[in-house]
Chains A and B, each alone.
Chain A
Amino acid sequence: MCNKKVLISLSADNINVTQPPALSLSPMSVSQFLDALERRMRNVCDEEIEELDFGRFLIGVSRFSVARGQTSGAGMEMTTTRKADQHATRHKSPYLLRGSADIVLVVDCEVEIEDEEGEDTILQKEMTTVIHQMKFLGGHITDLNIEVFDIGEFKEKARKKIAGKRKCYFYRLRDELLQRYLAEYGNPVRAVMEASRPVYHKDAETANNMDEESAGSRKRPTRNEPGFLFLSSIGYQLLEQPKQRRNTRFSWPHAFAEPIFSLIELIPASKAMKVTEKGEMADLYWQKKYDRNSLSYFVLQQ
């Protein structure tokens, strides 16, 4: 068994984007994508790869655009005639649900391959083959580049690749901020409102360099900018003990669950990589957790 870091750069169209005010991916969705990838690779590549285990992962997003006109059935359709446009303008929130994005994922990977010399190549090749057969968050993968690094060389080689990406932001969990506001206001709605209101937040880590005046005075920021705090789904809480039900996949037990939300902050790639040099990059790695007490399953940064 050896530890590798896999840098997955992919572009995908028509993916399910998440949530205002910042267009984002849900870390939980990414985690599930990686779970599915791991399961598939174990099934498909069992001859070449003896053992495979995905661990922590980083999420970076460098480009996000929304396909206008793609709406949910429940939403409004954008129309082209003038009258309808006038009508549409009355609804300021058309239901833009699908987008395209460039995504960077860094995955810690424990792998055992017979052919030790070519293990990087085999892993890269197999992973590329499997991912090309998959969808990413419901969308098609249009571009894919996978690189495998040893732990030692990752800092040197990957740093330039990631930090060089324009407008690439990493996701940082700010649950402690949310909990602080919860304690302060007592009301989750109020806490969320305060924490994720669309202004630069003085508590945002990346806004620390700004003095409070300038931070508070700059309103209406572009959404996908560093320091922006937004809600995103980080897991699920099972509402019941799983039980056997009809029509489940592979007759697995089934449970109804409720999404768990928390605050996420955007960290620019360059800053994230600087953090790396200080040895704090580990803070940005997401990990899967299961809490037996609350029956909740989530991804977390520790």
Chain B
Amino acid sequence: MRLEMKIGNALLKEKNGVTVLVEKKEFLDQDRKKSTFRPSMIRLRRDDPVPVLRYGLLTTAILACGKDVPEADVLKYDLLKDLDSHIQANTPVASLEFREDRLDRVLWEALGCEGDETPPKKIVPFIKRGDITNFSPWSPKIRDSDAQLVGRSFFACPEHMTEAAVREPAVGINSRSFGYHALHLVRNNRGTNVDYLLNAKVDIDGVEYPLQSAILGNAPENFSAFPDALPESLSCLAEALIQVIEHGSNYHEVESFPGNTFRCIALDYEEAPVEVTPVTSVELIDFVHRYLASLSNRTGTTEMTIGDGNAINIGAYASNVAGHLALLTQPDPNLTSTYFMNDAKLFRAELSRLTNGFLTKKQRAALSRRIVSRKEGQLNKSEWDAIMQGLENAALLYLKRIENAISLYEILSTESQDIEEPMALVKSGNWPGLEELITEKRFTNVDVIKLAENIFSDVYREIDLSNCDDFSERAVRKLQDVIWSRRGDYV
């Protein structure tokens, strides 16, 4: 197996059985010719762009955090160290033997470490600092508004609405009015270029996998667009990365640290002054508004500022589009998301602004040329069909599982007198517990076992059932978009 990992202008490749970091001049020149300023996510046409972006931004957020502090490299190292510790810990990742995989070695080698020796203080950075030229003044920082309330970080999901999530303001609208709780974005004025991450690719046996797709790829069906099945190691890497991001120290640091650069205001909260940091998920509304206004009146719009007069956060905007517009998708095709998604020109222009806050004149010209090209960016009908079909399949799989579970529940309730325990397990969604109960052969009904197998077989394929939390979180994350988009029909 040939293995190459390309991150920014650096290339990690295998030489004589050892993975090394390559930074050749020729390679850099060649790379520049390819104009890497354009994020690879735009090229992911056969994937659902929404989770790609969301996970991409989630990933960038944590790395952007690292750039905020002077010791960025140290933080980056910590990030990778977290990743490694996750791999070593008793997590589903470890159960899939990720430790032995070469990708692990790639990352480990990138740190300049061998074996279990103590990592050197000065690590090999993914990308030389001098290469980071396009600084975007707004980098997305993601926080889950209800994460503190539910004690964990979920994406929007109807099954996990909390009291706070459904509470709407007394007047007006905000994202609560849409009925979901959102990932909010916190302003960071210092900014970081995140292209190197967006451009990260892994080349396995001659097939190039964007790292973002790997991050997305914890659901195998999402990878139907790729020629082969997703390499397990890549899936593990993605999973580990997400776990690191969500549970890493940096992520929580963002949540708990308003920072000097944030625009804060004070207001009277129960007669006591409170400092407030506005977060910007409502700009979604503005976007739709602005875009539709621009359709009818090309000169009638300018940029919006939020709340206290702060400028719009393009990162937040794009992230909103990425993370939330899908949730607003209505069965009615004439509504907003379709408008948006069909306009590849607008979509890509805004995405470019997200990832390239400042462009050189040459880059802008190149960008504008790309924008007018219909070939590269616009999703055609068949591509859309493929995406929608994949999502629909995922949703149906999920619903089928629920259906099976309900049948199982009914059978259990009729067969057994001692129904309380399985009922409690089913109600609480504790599938591992239920499975344990059944495999202890306390229920001998064939139907029960068959149904249980139906339920658990695909679960076995994907995840480690030893961790119940992991199951629910992963399943939720995988299917939430589809369930949300079709909630009118199913939920």
Complex contact A257–B294 (CB within 8 A): no
Binds B, one of A22-30, A111-119, A266-274: A22-30
Contact with B274, one of A189, A199, A252 (Cβ below 8 angstroms): A252
Tell me, rounded to whole Å, the shortest Cβ–Cβ distance linking A282 to chain B. Answer: 18
What's the dominant secondary structure at chain B's contact region? Answer: mixed
Tell me, rounded to whole Å, the shortest Cβ–Cβ distance linking B330 to chain A. Answer: 7
A82 close to chain B: CB less than 8 A: no
What is the bound-complex CA distance between A296 and B312, given in angstroms? Answer: 22
Residues of B contacting A76 in the complex (Cβ-Cβ under 8 angstroms): 353, 364
A95-B303, A198-B297, A291-B170 are known contacts. Are A189 and B368 too (CB-CB below 8 A)? no
Tell me, rounded to whole Å, the shortest Cβ–Cβ distance linking B301 to chain A. Answer: 4
Residues of A contacting B145 in the complex (Cβ-Cβ under 8 angstroms): 239-240, 256, 258
What is the bound-complex CA distance between A23 and B282, given in angstroms? Answer: 18
Complex contact A254–B258 (CB within 8 A): yes
Those of B253-288 within 8 Å (CB) of chain A: 256-260, 264-270, 272-282, 284-286, 288
Complex contact A256–B186 (CB within 8 A): yes
Complex contact B171–A234 (CB within 8 A): yes
Those of B302-344 within 8 Å (CB) of chain A: 302-315, 328, 330, 335-336
A234-B171, A291-B169, A296-B171 are known contacts. Are A74 and B138 too (CB-CB below 8 A)? yes
What is the bound-complex CA distance between A252 and B303, given in angstroms? Answer: 32
Complex contact A73–B173 (CB within 8 A): no
Complex contact B302–A66 (CB within 8 A): yes
What is the bound-complex CA distance between A195 and B312, given in angstroms? Answer: 22
A16-B309, A97-B305, A138-B309 are known contacts. Are A197 and B292 too (CB-CB below 8 A)? yes
Binds B, one of A43-51, A125-133, A243-251: A243-251
Residues of B contacting A55 in the complex (Cβ-Cβ under 8 angstroms): none
What is the bound-complex CA distance between A26 and B304, given in angstroms? Answer: 11
Contact with A87, one of B172, B305, B310, B364 (Cβ below 8 angstroms): B364
Those of B426-444 within 8 Å (CB) of chain A: none
Residues of A contacting B265 in the complex (Cβ-Cβ under 8 angstroms): 32
A75 close to chain B: CB less than 8 A: yes
Complex contact A234–B276 (CB within 8 A): no
Binds A, one of B24-32, B43-51, B104-112, B174-182: B174-182
Complex contact B309–A26 (CB within 8 A): yes
Q: How many residues of B contact A (CB 8 A)?
A: 89
Tell me, rounded to whole Å, the shortest Cβ–Cβ distance linking B369 to chain A. Answer: 10
What is the bound-complex CA distance between A21 and B297, given in angstroms? Answer: 10
Complex contact A75–B300 (CB within 8 A): no
Residues of A contacting B259 in the complex (Cβ-Cβ under 8 angstroms): 247
Tell me, rounded to whole Å, the shortest Cβ–Cβ distance linking A65 to chain B. Answer: 12
A28-B308, A178-B172, A238-B269 are known contacts. Are A72 and B293 too (CB-CB below 8 A)? no
Complex contact A256–B309 (CB within 8 A): no
A235 close to chain B: CB less than 8 A: yes
What is the bound-complex CA distance between A88 and B468, given in angstroms? Answer: 53
Residues of B contacting A238 in the complex (Cβ-Cβ under 8 angstroms): 269, 274, 276
A84-B361, A198-B297, A260-B174 are known contacts. Are A16 and B310 too (CB-CB below 8 A)? yes
Complex contact B288–A189 (CB within 8 A): yes
What is the bound-complex CA distance between A73 and B275, given in angstroms? Answer: 25
Residues of B contacting A235 in the complex (Cβ-Cβ under 8 angstroms): 169, 171-172
Tell me, rounded to whole Å, the shortest Cβ–Cβ distance linking B161 to chain A. Answer: 15
Complex contact A175–B171 (CB within 8 A): yes
Complex contact A246–B365 (CB within 8 A): no
User: Which of A73, A242, A291 has the most chain B CB within a 10 Å cutoff?
Assistant: A73
Contact with B276, one of A23, A87, A255 (Cβ below 8 angstroms): A255
A66-B302, A74-B314, A297-B267 are known contacts. Are A261 and B173 too (CB-CB below 8 A)? yes
Complex contact B311–A74 (CB within 8 A): yes
A18-B304, A19-B304 are known contacts. Are A248 and B357 too (CB-CB below 8 A)? no
Complex contact B137–A73 (CB within 8 A): yes
What is the bound-complex CA distance between A150 and B364, given in angstroms? Answer: 59
B16 close to chain A: CB less than 8 A: no
What is the bound-complex CA distance between A296 and B276, given in angstroms? Answer: 12
Query: Interface 1/0s, chain A 217-254, versus B by CB < 8 A?
Result: 00110010000000101111111101001111110111
Complex contact B164–A239 (CB within 8 A): yes
Complex contact A294–B169 (CB within 8 A): yes
Query: Interface 1/0s, chain A 168-192, versus B by CB < 8 A?
Result: 0000000100100010000111111
A21-B301, A237-B176, A254-B275 are known contacts. Are A72 and B365 too (CB-CB below 8 A)? no
Tell me, rounded to whole Å, the shortest Cβ–Cβ distance linking B57 to chain A. Answer: 15
For chain A, which range describes its interface: under 10, 10 to 19, 20 to 34, or 35 or more residues? 35 or more
Complex contact B297–A256 (CB within 8 A): no
B375 close to chain A: CB less than 8 A: no
B371 close to chain A: CB less than 8 A: yes
A92 close to chain B: CB less than 8 A: yes
Complex contact A73–B138 (CB within 8 A): yes
A294-B169, A300-B171 are known contacts. Are A182 and B177 too (CB-CB below 8 A)? yes
A188-B177, A262-B171, A297-B267 are known contacts. Are A83 and B286 too (CB-CB below 8 A)? no
Closest-by-CB residue of B relative to A253 is: B274
Complex contact A23–B302 (CB within 8 A): yes
Complex contact A188–B285 (CB within 8 A): yes
What is the bound-complex CA distance between A262 and B168, given in angstroms? Answer: 13
What is the bound-complex CA distance between A236 and B264, given in angstroms? Answer: 12
What is the bound-complex CA distance between A84 and B186, given in angstroms? Answer: 32
A240-B148, A248-B258, A296-B171 are known contacts. Are A92 and B274 too (CB-CB below 8 A)? no
Residues of A contacting B270 in the complex (Cβ-Cβ under 8 angstroms): 290, 292
User: Which of B145, B164, B269, B301 has the most chain A CB within a 10 Å cutoff?
Assistant: B269
A237-B174, A297-B267 are known contacts. Are A20 and B301 too (CB-CB below 8 A)? yes
Tell me, rounded to whole Å, the shortest Cβ–Cβ distance linking B467 to chain A. Answer: 28
B358 close to chain A: CB less than 8 A: yes
Complex contact B173–A256 (CB within 8 A): no
Residues of A contacting B336 in the complex (Cβ-Cβ under 8 angstroms): 189-190
What is the bound-complex CA distance between A183 and B312, given in angstroms? Answer: 28
Closest-by-CB residue of A relative to B175 is: A258
Contact with B167, one of A137, A175, A293 (Cβ below 8 angstroms): A293
What would 4 more interface pairs be, CB under 8 Å, given A29-B308, A74-B138?
A20-B300, A21-B297, A75-B311, A252-B272
28 CB < 8 A contacts A-B: A17-B309, A18-B305, A21-B301, A28-B308, A35-B267, A66-B302, A72-B137, A74-B311, A76-B353, A79-B361, A93-B290, A93-B302, A97-B311, A189-B328, A192-B173, A193-B292, A231-B285, A231-B286, A240-B149, A246-B256, A248-B275, A252-B273, A253-B274, A256-B279, A257-B278, A289-B170, A293-B170, A296-B171
B interface, CB within 8 angstroms of A: 136-138, 143, 145, 148-149, 164, 167-178, 184, 186, 191, 256-260, 264-270, 272-282, 284-286, 288-290, 292-294, 296-315, 328, 330, 335-336, 349, 353, 357-358, 361, 364-365, 368, 371-372
A interface, CB within 8 angstroms of B: 15-21, 23, 26, 28-29, 32, 35, 66, 72-76, 79, 83-84, 87, 90-97, 137-138, 175, 178, 182, 187-193, 196-199, 219-220, 223, 231, 233-240, 242, 245-250, 252-262, 288-298, 300
